Amino acid sequence: AFSLLRIVNTEKYFLSLPVNHRALLKSFRDNLDVIRTCIEKNNNIIKLIVKDVAYMFENVSHTLTCSTNQEEKGGFHQSVPSMNDQDKVQVTLKQFVRDWSEEGAGERRTCYQPIIDEILAHFPANTAPHDVKVLVPGAGLGRLAFEIARRGYTCQGNEFSLFMLFASNFVLNKCRDINMYTVYPWVHQYVNNMRLGDQTKPVKFPDINPSVLPPDAQFSMTAGDFLEVYVEENEWDCVSTCFFIDCASNVVAFIEAIYKILKPGGLWINLGPLLYHFSDAPNEKSIEPTYEEVREVINGFGFKMEKEETRVKTTYAQNPNSMLKCEYESIFFVCRKPSEESSGPATSTGDTATAQQEEDDILMQNGSR
């Protein structure tokens, strides 16, 4: 409704322009009709995605689907979506491009392939891939995790966003052919368009049949907060993170958790920037250490850096036809948890005392204001 209202308001303003101005914009109003049609087609896809989503989760009561309350459907209470919700829907539509379309092949090549190559190099075929357990936190729509599982490794993706989970469930469990569906991921981008068709350019998905996996493939997706779901120590041979660690309000907690859940000798492979999603977000707290500081934290927990590249040019769900493009200079590294663990992370009693003194000083300063 919000998206269609946006068109209605634009149309009203256009009709209020002087006649000679409207005459010069010959295609403008017709293009609004095309945009409206694309939004409606996106809505049809969204309806397919959320159909029966209550059955995704084992801990959701399916009796809710029988509710006589018309505000409850599919096991979820319906409410007026916030602007934040609408933004997340638009991000999810763009994620189909990145993860499951031919148009996203370039991004997958620069963001996913380096991670896959490192896994193949460190865990070659003669190591019995199905015995190698790989975790992909922040899995999005699951393409990276799928590609790892497709190569025979036991792989689990983890995702916190319900929007991403609904969409990944649809692709991985409901799509059984190539290019079955069409979305219009850029239809909400009203600015920086070069040509009329750029905003309404269709994208088909999936570019590969997600059901085509080796017969013995071990591939799964879990829902929930990474820090809460993964608490079992020494569990994973490899943790692969792509555009993930900056999703933490406290990146140190993510690094600590990754260290704990890796087996001794296990690998952490990471690629991405430090956007820090909670930075300056309303009602959220966040720290935003530099990569130099993050690297010190990584070393401080005991990781041994084996490979490191800086300023790796990457994009994220980028509209290739937009007049405005965002490019990250990402960090790519491979580090290893030592095979023989010491008693714990490298934190001396002096460091602990210093940290405690800093905390006491802050409390005293706050108390004196």
- Compute the distance between CA of residue 102 and CA of residue 204 in angstroms, rounded to an integer: 8
The string of DSSP codes covering 143-205 is HHHHHHHHTT-EEEEEE--HHHHHHHHHHHHH--STT-EEE-TTTT--SSBSSGGGTT--EEE
17 is written with which tokens? 């322009």
The string of DSSP codes covering 287-324 is ----HHHHHHHHHHTT-EEEEEEEEEEE-SS--TTBSS
Angle between helices 83-100 and 2-16 (to 10 degrees): 100
- Compute the distance between CA of residue 301 and CA of residue 108 in angstroms, rounded to an integer: 30
pLDDT per 10-residue tile (average), the chain, 369 residues:
92 98 97 98 97 74 40 51 84 98 99 98 83 98 98 97 97 96 98 97 98 91 98 98 98 99 99 97 95 99 98 98 98 96 47 50 42
Q: Which amino acid is at 187?
A: V
- Compute the distance between CA of residue 317 and CA of residue 92 in angstroms, rounded to an integer: 10
Residue 343, number of CB atoms within 10 A of its CB? 5
117 is written with which tokens? 């190559």
Listed in sequence order, the residues at least 6 apart from 95 whose beta carbon sits closer than 8 Å to its beta carbon are: 140, 141, 164, 167, 317
Residue 24, number of CB atoms within 10 A of its CB? 9
* Residue for token pair 């350019």: 201
pLDDT of residue 342: 52
pLDDT of residue 69: 41
What angle is formed at CA 1 by the lines to CA 279 and CA 321, rounded to 5 degrees? 60
- Which residue segments constitute the domains of the chain, with CATH numbers given? 104-175+210-347 (3.40.50.150)
- Compute the distance between CA of residue 340 and CA of residue 318 in angstroms, rounded to an integer: 43
What's the predicted TM-score (pTM) here? 0.88
